[in-house]
Amino acid sequence: MQNVFPGEVFANTDDFDTGIRQLLPRYDEMLEVITRCLPSRSRRILELGCGTGELSIKILKLCPDAEVIALDYSPRMLQFAQDKITTAGYEQRWTGIELDFGDWANNPEKFDIGSEFDACVSSLAIHHLQDEMKLKLFEQIAASLTPEGCFWNADPLLPESPILAEVYKMAREEWAVQQGINFTEIGAKRGTSSTQGYSSQDRLASLDVHLQMLTTAGFQTVGVPWKYYGLTVFGGWLQKF
């Protein structure tokens, strides 16, 4: 197996957009929920772990005045995303930066990516950080937003009990059967990931722990606009509503 960064999943980038939709139920729906939670008037949006640019494109379509600053530590993902963004005609409103957002959280003074963001988003990336680093990241996100800013994240969760873990597993397997998906075939396309910077293999936390971290980081209104078994979109606003 080819070695890949945590979060890249597949050995070949050409497999990612199709493969992730075969691995995760309702992938597009999950990303669309994030875009719906963003104010359409947003002008500056920070994306952490942009991957192949799928979420960026959804945001740029929905928010006509928005500029997306996208961070990712994978050069091949950034190039893949850049090509896709250019093909879609959004290259003037998208900037990809090769950067480990864990490093940014731990050492923000090293980087000049700006602040006063209207929103921050992430999908399928933050769960690769240990919990201590998740909290640091949430605190740095809060410090980088405008007073009215919001943050939304899509990620897998740590099940609250072994019973729920089995429920989540069964639901995913039933979904795969309904879709005619063979996990063994998809698994053959996966790479082997090892620690890269601050990220490693899955470091899942429960939904309750995530929400407590957000509150500790300074988000006064937190919410869960979407959840499908072990996948969720959670986040909130710095302001209290």
Query: CA triplet 63, 69, 75: central angle to 5 degrees?
Result: 130
Q: Tell me phi and psi for residue 3, to 5 degrees.
A: -75, 135
Q: Quickly tell me which residue has 């921050």 as its tokens.
A: 120
Residue 199 has pLDDT above 70, yes or no: yes
Delimit the domains of the chain by residue range: 3-237
pLDDT in tens, 71-115: 999 999 999 999 999 999 999 999 999 999 999 999 999 998 988
Q: Per residue in 165-189, pLDDT tens?
A: 999 999 999 999 999 998 888 878 7
CB 207 within 8 A of CB 188: no
Residue 195 has pLDDT above 70, yes or no: no
pLDDT tens profile 16-40: 899 999 999 999 999 999 999 999 8
CB 187 within 8 A of CB 9: no
Per-residue confidence (pLDDT) for residue 118, from 0 to 100: 97
Q: Quick one: which of 121, 112, 108, 29 has its CA closest to 68?
A: 121
* The pLDDT value given to residue 1: 60
- For residues 142 and 214, give the distance between their C-alpha atoms in angstroms, rounded to a whole number: 9
CATH class of 3-237: alpha beta
Nearest Cα residue to 198 out of 107, 68, 76: 107
Paired sense of beta strands 145-156 and 3-4, if any: unpaired
Q: Are 42 and 237 in contact (CB under 8 A)?
A: no
pTM tops 0.85, yes or no? yes
CA-closest candidate to residue 76, choices 51, 100, 54: 51
Nearest to 49 by CA among 102, 111, 125: 125
More confident residue, 60 or 41: 60
- The pLDDT > 90 percentage for the chain reads 80
